[in-house]
Each structure stands twice: as C-alpha cells, then as structure tokens.
A = this chain, B = another copy of it.
C-alpha cells in the first residue's frame, strides 16, 4: 500500500496532480486509510504511469479517459483506439505546420534587424505593424 507521496515519487507526478487526475476521473478513487488518506496499489501505479505517458505524448485528458474506458474491454476490436491515436498524430502534424510558418516569418523579421538602430526604423516593429510585409498567412 502506497501513500500518495510514495506514488508521486515513483511516477514523478506531483501530489496535487494525482488528486487532479482522480477528480477528472482518470484514476478511480483510491481506498482510504482510517484517517482518510489515500492508499494505492500496484494497479494504480500502472494506471498512473499510463496516464503520465499519454500526457507526455500530448494526449488530452478526455482522450485518455476514452482510452482507459476502451482498455476495460480487452476483447473488443481496437478501431477506436487507433482512431484516437491517429487523430492526435494529425493534430500534432497540423501544429508543426503552423509553427513552421511562424518560424519562417519570424526568421525573416529577425534577420532584417541587427539590434543596433533606432526603434522608429526597426524592421521588427514595422513588420508587426504591417502584415503586408509577411510572406504568408497565419
């Protein structure tokens, strides 16, 4: 039986975050000691590791909730699991695309400024004032 602090040390997830995951329904409410403190078992450790890893991979709480629910039905086909992961991959790719466009604009903007002239002539300020100087949309 682990206290919440033990669980925290073993998974690297902060104590308030563990309580938050419980509140969000990702962790089932833990058993309690006589004095009302949470007590965990290996099972909970594994689930918390799952949650943490999924979060590290960028999945949001509701996606993780779905995945946990699906994994409770081990004999069903994994189509929905696949869909959640694929959707997430797509959203990561979309974000990368957007950020690359930003990177290009910012590179252009920064490259025109040597940081050593008057602000009234600064290309950074002018670029921010006028989207017409940009190459693309954002």
**Is B71 a contact partner of A102 (Cβ separation < 8 A)?**
no
Known contacts A85-B109, A110-B82, A113-B82; decide if A119 and B76 are in contact (CB<8 Å): yes
Q: A85-B113, A96-B103 are in contact. List 20 more A-B contacts (CB 8 A).
A: A49-B129, A49-B131, A53-B131, A54-B128, A57-B102, A57-B138, A58-B102, A67-B128, A76-B119, A77-B119, A78-B124, A81-B113, A81-B124, A82-B113, A82-B115, A82-B124, A89-B110, A95-B99, A96-B96, A96-B100
A32 to B38, CA, bound (A): 56
Chain multiplicity (copies): 2
A119–B73 CB distance below 8 A: yes
- A88 interface residue, CB < 8 Å from B? yes
Say whether A1 faces chain B, with CB atoms less than 8 Å apart.
no
A96 lies within 8 A of B93 (CB)? no
- Name A residues whose Cβ lies closer than 8 Å to a Cβ of B: 46, 49-50, 53-54, 56-58, 67, 70-71, 73-79, 81-83, 85-86, 88-89, 92-93, 95-96, 99-100, 102-103, 105-107, 109-110, 113-122, 124-125, 128-131, 138
Which single residue of chain B is at the shortest CB-CB distance from A138? B56
- Residue on B with the closest CB to A56? B138
Q: A50-B128, A81-B124 are in contact. Are A76 and B107 (CB under 8 A)?
A: no
Q: What B residues does A106 contact at CB under 8 A? A: 57, 85, 88-89, 92
